[in-house]
Amino acid sequence: MTIAGAGVALAAGRPVWAAVLGAGLVIVYWALDMLALRRANEGTFAHALGVALGGMALRLAVVLGALVAVGVLERPAFATVAVAFLASFTVYTFLRLFAFSAVATK
């Protein structure tokens, strides 16, 4: 998805680094999601709930923090980063849906 986003940005005359950053945010989101999932499996239900809520807040803070930083420091590239993130996140969510539905049916 990162390569596709960079290609679209290049073809559209938008900054390629911004498209790569937007898609890269999804990779960071995924890594934090997997970390939270692994940590949540280690303890009690209360521990899992705390890790899930904390992980959700951390993922949101990282993504929004990066988007705000780009918006403040490089305003013309903000739209490219946001659209690349949304496109990549949509693909990630779609793939994750199928990954967990396969686990649920076992």
**What tens digit of pLDDT does each residue of 46-66 get?**
999 999 999 999 999 999 999
Residue 78 exposure: Cα atoms within 13 Å on the Cβ side: 12
pTM for this prediction: 0.85
- Give percent of the chain with pLDDT exceeding 70: 94
Residue range(s) defining the domain that contains residue 99: 2-104
Task: Determine whether 26 is exposed, middle or buried from the number of CB atoms within 10 Å of its CB (0-12, 13-18, 19+).
Answer: buried
Query: How many domains are contained in the chain?
Result: 1
